[in-house]
Amino acid sequence: MEKVIIIRYAEIHLKGKNRGYFERVFAVNLEKSLKGMRHELHRMSGRWLVEKFDQAQAEEIETRISRVFGVHSYSLGYLVGSELDEIYAGVRLVAPREGTFKVETHRGYKRYPMTSPEISAAIGGRLIHDFPALRVDVHTPQNTVYIDVRENGAALVFGSFESGAGGMPVGTAGRGLLLISGGIDSPVAGYMMAKRGMTVELLHFHSYPYTNEGAKEKVITLARILSKYSLTARITTVKMTEIQESIHKHCAEELNVTLLRRFMFRVAERIARARKAQCLVTGESLGQVASQTMEGLASSNAVVTLPVLRPLIGFDKEEIITLAKKIGTFETSILPYEDCCTVFLPEFPAIKPKLDYIEREESKLDVETLVNNALSTAEIIDL
């Protein structure tokens, strides 16, 4: 009797004539997530089946599948022979021991000597006989035992559903460039976009020697966790040191962060175009910090033409933290690090800077040269 995993997908079935494309991407993503582990992936009537894997790796395979976007639910079940005794042996392993239940049979192999209701009734009867605490309830059962009789004398049995990550297969909804810091928010923003099928490229800004290598290491760790969902393979880093120094030296202190954000967006847009990304993605949430006021957000948007997606814009910090914990980035995000040296932090940052004031201060800088210099420091790190 072989352990197998049955995978059901989420919204793909809504996709009408494009369904084939979504299914293909989904299958590729499943294969990617199972890379390095022995397995076979087969499609069967609107579902996928993982079989022939090392039974000891079942748990790891389940974990990996649970992170693939597009998976609605999955079940660990057994591949058994199609003789009724063989089916029942498998059913015993997945069936409940008490409470109400029903048996639901799907008979893909139409030449099987029994009909689906007959199989359900026979198996259900045996269960009640063996486990007297079980009761049949075909309308609202607490548990359902599923039997799928297939061709070549095989059948699948399984008893429960685990929720998948939901969403759409990564790669089916365009490409975005996520500005990732070492904080809590940006990895969650990346997760949200990947969940809707976006391919997420990563960009990290540092300002060595004002920030340290520890911050970079931390971001790489975060990116690796995120990549388990987003399947992202690399991260680009850009050094913002010269820009930060220039702003600090020449511009009004209260605008330090506002101006830095504008430069980050400019650099990000250039990187995005080079990576064929169609938008920028940030972890900004309205009003969370001084630079995330509507004025602050608008002043950043004013320097780019690509759309800027902010999937966390309406989230409270608590909500973001809950998600960060769920996806596993929280523990790393709260490790001590600084994304900005205290020398550059204004004592009183401007909360509602006017655009003409910002532009006047910024005009003291050679924006184009600074952006080009920063771009020349870009490094790509494979995850």
Partner 1 sequence: MIYFDNAATTRPDGAAFDKAAQYTRENFFNPSASYGGGFLVHGALEEARSALLSHVADPAKFALYFTSGGTEADNHAVLCGARRGNAVASAGEHAAVERAFNELKNRGVEPRFAPLNRDGSVDTDRLLSLVDGQTSLVSVMHVNNETGAVNDVAAIARAVKKKNPRTLFMSDGVQAYGKLAFRLTDEIDLYTVSAHKIGGLKGTGALIKRKSLALPPFVHGGGQEGGMRSGTENIFGILDFRYAAEKKFASLGADGVRLAEYKKRLASALSARYTVLSSEGSPYILTVSLEGGRGEVLQRMLWDRGVVVGTGSACSSKHRHSRVIAACGYGEKILDGVLRISFSAETTEEEIGRAAVALDEVAREFTDKV
Binding site for partner 1 (CB under 8 A): 208-212, 245, 248-249, 336-338, 341-343, 345
Kindly state the smallest distance separating residue 69's Cβ from partner 1, in Å.
36
Residue 158's closest CA among 150, 143, 147?
A: 147
Between 274 and 345, CB nearer to partner 1: 345
Between 150 and 248, CB nearer to partner 1: 248
The CA angle 232-175-211, to the nearest 5 degrees, is: 55
CA dihedral 64, 65, 70, 75 (to 10 degrees): -160
Between 109 and 208, CB nearer to partner 1: 208
Query: Quick check: 312 and 185 in contact, CB under 8 A?
Result: yes
Kindly state the smallest distance separating residue 248's Cβ from partner 1, in Å.
6
Which residues touch 380 (CB under 8 Å, ≥6 apart)? Answer: 234, 235, 236
Which residues touch 156 (CB under 8 Å, ≥6 apart)? Answer: 4, 6, 49, 77, 78, 79, 80, 146, 147, 148, 150
Kindly state the smallest distance separating residue 270's Cβ from partner 1, in Å.
24
Query: Quick check: 254 and 348 in contact, CB under 8 A?
Result: yes
For residues 269 and 305, what is the distance between their CA atoms, to the nearest angstrom?
Answer: 8
Angle between helical axes of 185-195 and 213-230 (0-180°, round to 10): 20
Kindly state the smallest distance separating residue 369's Cβ from partner 1, in Å.
16
Kindly state the smallest distance separating residue 373's Cβ from partner 1, in Å.
14
Between 105 and 237, CB nearer to partner 1: 237
Between 212 and 301, CB nearer to partner 1: 212
Between 183 and 190, CB nearer to partner 1: 183
Between 37 and 334, CB nearer to partner 1: 334
Kindly state the smallest distance separating residue 335's Cβ from partner 1, in Å.
12
Query: Quick check: 283 and 188 in contact, CB under 8 A?
Result: yes
DSSP 255: G
Which residues touch 179 (CB under 8 Å, ≥6 apart)? Answer: 186, 203, 204, 205, 264, 268, 280, 281, 282, 283
Between 35 and 249, CB nearer to partner 1: 249
Between 132 and 209, CB nearer to partner 1: 209
> What are the helix (H) ranges across the chain?
19-33, 58-66, 84-94, 116-130, 185-195, 213-230, 241-250, 256-274, 294-301, 317-327, 330-333, 355-362, 367-375
DSSP secondary structure of 138-194: SSS-SEEEEEEE-STTEEEEE---EE---S--TTSS-EEEEE--SSSHHHHHHHHHH
Between 230 and 244, CB nearer to partner 1: 244
DSSP 347: S
Kindly state the smallest distance separating residue 377's Cβ from partner 1, in Å.
14
Kindly state the smallest distance separating residue 342's Cβ from partner 1, in Å.
5
Kindly state the smallest distance separating residue 209's Cβ from partner 1, in Å.
3
Six-digit token pair at 195?
């969940």
Which one-letter amino acid corresponds to residue 159? G
The residue with tokens 């009408």 is: 16
Kindly state the smallest distance separating residue 345's Cβ from partner 1, in Å.
7
What backbone torsions phi and psi does residue 224 show, to the nearest 5 degrees?
-65, -40
